Amino acid sequence: MSDAGGARSELCRQLRQLGVEIVTAEYDGSGDEGQIDVPEFGGAKVPDALAMAVQDLFYDILGDLYRGWEDNEGAFGQFEWDVKQDRINLVHNARMESWETEEQVL
């Protein structure tokens, strides 16, 4: 799992110092593109650089677990990071294109 040399631990430390308890972010991908929304910090004021670093961490985690999440029909979901316990819950929904063809000659 991506940690980028302890980046997650450092981000968690900084978020705790700012009083952040929960971080959430939704993502959506399709057509070979995908985006993770700017994280929400439960009303706490977080510097832009820290918000971007959290978003980058989420991109790394998503890429590690679900490589190609943005391809074809893509996937969507949500991150929820319990900063107090340093536990990230990721709900991932894969979109699948499928069909069933039936032909009958009578």
Inter-CA distances, 70 with 99, 101, 103, Å? 21, 27, 33
Name the band, by pLDDT with cuts 50, 70 and 90, for residue 87.
very high
Domain ranges within the chain, ordered by starting residue: 7-94
Percent of the chain with pLDDT over 70: 95
Name the band, by pLDDT with cuts 50, 70 and 90, for residue 2.
low
92 neighbors 33 (Cβ within 8 angstroms): no
